Amino acid sequence: MLLSLLIALPLFGSLIVALLPNSQREQFRWIALGVTAINLLICGLVYTAFDQSQADYQIGQQLDWITLSLGSLGSVSIDYLVGIDGMSFPLVLLSVVVMLIGVISSWNIQERQRAYFSLYLLLTGTILGCFLALDFFLFFLFFEFMLLPMYFLIGLWGGPRREYASIKFFLYTLLGSVLILLVMIGLSMSVMDPISTALATGIINGPEQADTNIIRLIQAQLANGQIDPSRIVHTFDFRYLSDGGNYLPGSFLSVAGETFPLGIPSRMLAFWAVFLGFAIKLPIVPLHTWLPDAHVEAPTPVSVVLAGVLLKIGGYGFLRIAWGFFPDGGAEYARVLGGLGVLSIVYGGLCALAQNDVKKMIAYSSVSHMGFVLLGIASLTPEGVNGAIYQMVSHGVLSAMLFLIAGVIYDRTHDRRIDSYRGLNHAMPQYATLTAVAFFGSLGLPGFSGFVGELFTLMGSMQSEWLPGWQTALATLGIALAAGYFLWTLQRMFFGQYWTRVGAHVGDSGAHMGAPLRDLTPRERGMLISLGVLALVMGLFPNLVFNLTSASVGEWLKRFLVG
């Protein structure tokens, strides 16, 4: 039940905070800190039990939840089903670390503390639920419910244009959810649960009798039309949705592709629907416009969570659902998808280079770095896909660090403009040092995690038989652009004579001098150093991630090799 505890503890903590009287307001943040810290400890226990050589799901829990009769169409079964494998576990580890950092960065929240920490814990539970759920219906509930706390966290605690940013975020993500919902319904009516169907047809008397031979037998009977449709049990189980042998012949999403709405194979339409749904979340150009607005208006802790974890649900959805359930679509459109990844890399980098707002610059850099994720997945190579997962984890750590850095200067001056500062290294040497670490890590300096993620995605795309070489060559421009906008920002803000626009006055020498800014507090220093050390350790020892992912990625790629 360890995985269920990861989900249940934040949800229970959210309820406790919501019910506590306002006289206990000092306890709200401590409850949130305790819950997220316990989740980190639970993940440590899960790590010790995780078998890195096993490709399948492990440490799972399955409970019957909903069974609904469909009459002559059979029945549909929905389970509470959670589990992890090498593709999801690194993102779970990332989530618990970033959510803990987010609580610590929320320590100074004073307005409506009960609502804030209750919503924050609710968001924590739903994020972990997305990475742990192995039933599509359960996944969709977490994915959809995640919108609620994010909408209010941006809309109530954000900046001057928070209402606009929160509504834009909500509408974009809701549109993606509708596309995913349509495909989920189509999948459930096109796929059977082989074990439950074997029970319904009397082939076995209990689930314990099910084995590989029984599953193959029931799949053969399904293909030959030997199963009464009223005995078929439809399912949302990820394990069965990813197996082509469980698809009903003649169904809307059958692997044979017998239906052509609008003259296009239905499976290709379904692939593009779920791709667009998750591309909005990642996000991919041109579906990215909600992200800069959301980051600029969101409070610092919410930006940390948004960039550090929420965007990764889009990449995870690509792996688990878009490519996982529709490998034919991922292979058919690999060049187009790789091109979209390159477009995001270059366009995001160019936009970041043009920004004068630190938060907007970091937001557009996220668009660029997430382009590497799509490029790596589209390559369908072990290097590329492992690199894509690594890139998500690396970006989660470094982007959280970057938004904390932006939050430090904003807390002191309420001004995020790059040209409002110069020579900050004189007044804030600790801040300058850790900013340099985050910038160099994010631009891909060897020794940091950012270098490893970009290197392996580029290696994978170069070796891919699905992608042309020019896409890899063009993608390397993103690295040069990253060096440009990070080094330009570092030079403008931290070198030269000390000056700030806020509180500026003319000194005796005639130079514009700003009031000295306070350097990092122990709390800020602890968060930034922890993330910087983590990025460095991951960069020096990349096998900490690759050992978790390689077995599952190898098994995931087999369906493309067979195809």
* Tens-digit pLDDT profile for residues 478-531: 999 999 999 999 999 999 888 888 654 333 333 344 457 889 999 999 999 999
The pLDDT assigned to 511 comes to 39
The pLDDT assigned to 506 comes to 37
Other beta carbons within 10 angstroms of residue 80's beta carbon come to 16
pTM: 0.93
Torsion of CA 298, 300, 303, 308, to 10 degrees: -170
Of the candidates 169, 164, 219, the residue with the CA atom closest to the CA atom of residue 197: 219
What confidence tens digit (pLDDT) does each residue in 308-360 have?
A: 999 999 999 999 999 999 999 999 999 999 999 999 999 999 999 999 999 99
Angle at 55 between CA 49 and CA 60, to 5 degrees: 50
What confidence tens digit (pLDDT) does each residue in 439-464 have?
A: 999 999 999 999 999 999 999 999 99
Q: Identify the band that residue 23 occupies on the pLDDT scale cut at 50, 70 and 90.
A: confident
Sign of CA dihedral 377, 378, 380, 383: negative
Helix (H) or strand (E) holding 412: helix 382-413
What confidence tens digit (pLDDT) does each residue in 34-93 have?
A: 999 999 999 999 999 999 989 899 988 999 999 888 888 889 999 999 999 999 999 999
Average pLDDT, the chain: 91
| Both tokens assigned to 355 | 């920004």
The answer, yes or no, to whether residue 17 has pLDDT greater than 50, is yes
Instruction: Give the three-state DSSP class for 59.
Output: strand
The pLDDT assigned to 110 comes to 86
The pLDDT assigned to 214 comes to 87
The answer, yes or no, to whether residue 138 has pLDDT greater than 90, is yes
What confidence tens digit (pLDDT) does each residue in 237-291 have?
A: 999 999 888 999 988 888 887 788 877 889 999 999 999 999 999 999 999 999 9
| Both tokens assigned to 332 | 């058919």
Mean pLDDT within 372-382: 95
Q: Sketch the domain layout of the chain as residue ranges.
A: 333-557
Which residues, other chains included, contact 442 with Cβ-Cβ below 8 Å and sequence gap of 6+?
365, 369, 398, 399, 402, 450, 482, 486
What confidence tens digit (pLDDT) does each residue in 283-307 have?
A: 999 999 999 999 889 999 999 999 9
The CA distance from 100 to 227, in Å, is: 51
The pLDDT assigned to 262 comes to 78
The pLDDT assigned to 536 comes to 96
Q: Identify the band that residue 561 occupies on the pLDDT scale cut at 50, 70 and 90.
A: low
The CA distance from 162 to 427, in Å, is: 32
- Residue for token digits 């359960």? 138
Alpha-carbon distances, residue 444 vs 335, 376, 447, 479 (angstroms): 25, 16, 9, 7
